[in-house]
Structure 1
């Protein structure tokens, strides 16, 4: 969901928590908020199910009207650590053989195209900055995750940073993932990072060939993400 505030700039309530284990937040979006129809009850749980694993579970229930729902995260990752510079030397592998091309306003056209032979091809791991000169600004593209669907966790990406030896692996139940390299930050100061945002396809409400993100009254939207972190012995 988006809009001027979306669900990122609202106040959530803490439903439950357990130190070093999990915390669950809830929010009730009322009919008409941000232009979306119907009341929507939303919850998100951040948990640490195992050492070096972060799990994010998102749920939303449409209470009285059909409404589009696509919940995601906007984490910025830099595996090099604080003050290590940008993420252009990170290696990325995306388990996504297709992507959704954009129009001049950066809205998906409805087309689904293969990544092979394009600057968007990360099927084999390679350095993020190696093809940046072919792009205007950087990466900001939705990919179609291979083997996604039916609520199953599918492997989405592997990110590695050679100096630290750190590696992050991402799994998700969503059909798409947005890869973003902090191109338009509006002068905001902070660490330079990359985003991997599992999600439904942007503009799916206007593209009937995209997976539907409409949640009908009584139905429950679910989205699960798992981030696992390791480091080599060096």
Structure 2
């Protein structure tokens, strides 16, 4: 699967024209309850693709791309002001950590010592806890203009924050290049052994966030031979199950809505749709694995994702319940957005067969996500 096709990028460039300047612009975005200022940095390339990042939660607040006719639209779920992110965050566009996804019982052991985490998902710890990386103010440390504008943000997580050991120094860098690739790079260093698993939790709708259409008509290709089944509590059972002959088989392009409600499959019932980790294949020479390709046939918009992580969580917005009112004024409901979150496997600290999420002093954690935007021919 060619995750980064030059032809697709060229098609988007042709559709949108080249009357834009590649740049990074910094501007106010609001304030927190304690008066601290929140800022936004908007990255723009010459093909009319824009990505806006706010330093609250290192959130990818906006992504705008043209369709095959050159008409630009917002394709990321989210809010136009801080009020929404504070009242109903839903992880829209958020940087999640210290540990993305679920840890069973909110407990894990490291070097013979058990650590207890904040529980914020029934009996589990989810996405870093009650005040994870998505709910803190990061510091903007660098903004670069040029052919590939970027912004780098930093945050220091104190030893013991949300129950995690070790002081963790983290950076998040967003770079938008002229091939329509938005690269997100997370790095972290610690002063004592800890666990780290960071990802971006953007919800995308290639129809346009304000279209009123769901993602169920999107066509997904996910080149994974296996996924990790879960219990009713959405914790992996430890099994690696083949996708063949199941609703989880997206090795060839499939419409998401075809099987998302297949109640004959217990895993679909448990997740109320797709909310599962897929095991990705081997990395290429650059250390990247093809994670997913999503196409919306009517607009022609295409999103492709590559990563250096071993898995990707595919989530169809099953728990969006209409209480969040997005930037367009529409209530976000089930399947109004999809998330594809590259990461290590859920609950890895309690399941050694899944590998390791451990980070030791002297090491550097590095997670890379590449979002490539293009358009398809009709």
Question: Same fold per TM (> 0.5)?
Answer: yes
Question: Counterpart of 2:296?
Answer: 161
> Aligned to 2:277, which of 142, 145, 170?
142
1:68 aligns with 2:204: no
Judged with a 3 Å threshold, the aligned counterparts in structure 2 of structure 1 residues 233 and 111 are, in CA distance, closer, same or farther, namely closer
**Most deviating of 117-126 and 28-37:** 117-126
Per-residue deviation, 1:233? 4.6
Taking the aligned partners of 2:317 and 2:232, their CA distance within structure 1 comes to: 19
Specify the alignment match of 1:103 in structure 2: 231
SS at 1:8 equivalent: helix
Q: Which residue among 275, 298, 306 is the counterpart of 1:171?
A: 306
Secondary structure of 1:26's counterpart equals strand
Instruction: Say which of 323, 326, 341 aligns to 1:197.
Output: 341
Instruction: Tell me how far apart the structure 1 counterparts of residues 295 and 377 of structure 2 sit (CA, whole Å).
Output: 14
Indicate whether 1:92 and 2:212 are aligned: no
The answer for the alignment partner of 1:211 in structure 2 is 355
> How many Å apart are 1:50 and its aligned residue?
2.3
Gaps of 5+ in 2: 1-98, 100-127, 263-267, 327-331
In 1: Cα distance, 2:277 partner to 2:283 partner:
14
User: What are the superposed Cα offsets for residues 160-197 of structure 1, whole Å, 9 maximum, x if unpaired?
Assistant: 00000111111000000000011112422335210000
SS in 1 for 2:187: strand
Distance 1:156 1:8 in 2: 23
Change over 3 Å in CA distance of 1:142–1:151 after alignment to 2: farther
Distance 1:115 1:122 in 2: 8
1:28 aligns with 2:164: no
Moved more, 96-105 or 25-34: 96-105
Residue number in structure 2 paired with 1:16: 142
Q: Are 2:260 and 1:116 equivalent residues in the alignment? A: no
Does the 8 Å contact 1:149/1:173 carry over to 2?
Answer: no
How many residues matched? 233
Runs of 5+ in structure 1 lacking a partner? none
| 4+ residue runs over 3 A deviation | 148-151
Deviations 1:74-131 (A, max 9, x none): 0111111131410000000001111111112111122111111111111111000000
Pairing partner for 1:181 from 316, 319, 324? 316
Cα distance in 2, alignment partners of residues 5 and 129 from structure 1: 33
Which of 190, 196, 205 is matched with 1:78 structurally? 205
Whole-angstrom distance in 2 between the partners of 1:233 and 1:88: 20
State yes or no: 1:6 paired with 2:132. yes
- Greater shift in the superposed pair: 198-207 or 183-192: 183-192
Q: 1:214 and 1:198 mapped to 2: Cα distance?
A: 17
Closer, same or farther: CA 149–67 of 1 in aligned 2, 3 Å: farther
CA contact (8 A) 1:78 1:87 kept: yes
Bigger RCO of structures 1 and 2 (CA < 8 A, at least 6 apart): 1
Distance 2:377 2:294 in 1: 17
The root-mean-square deviation of aligned C-alpha atoms, in Å, is 1.6
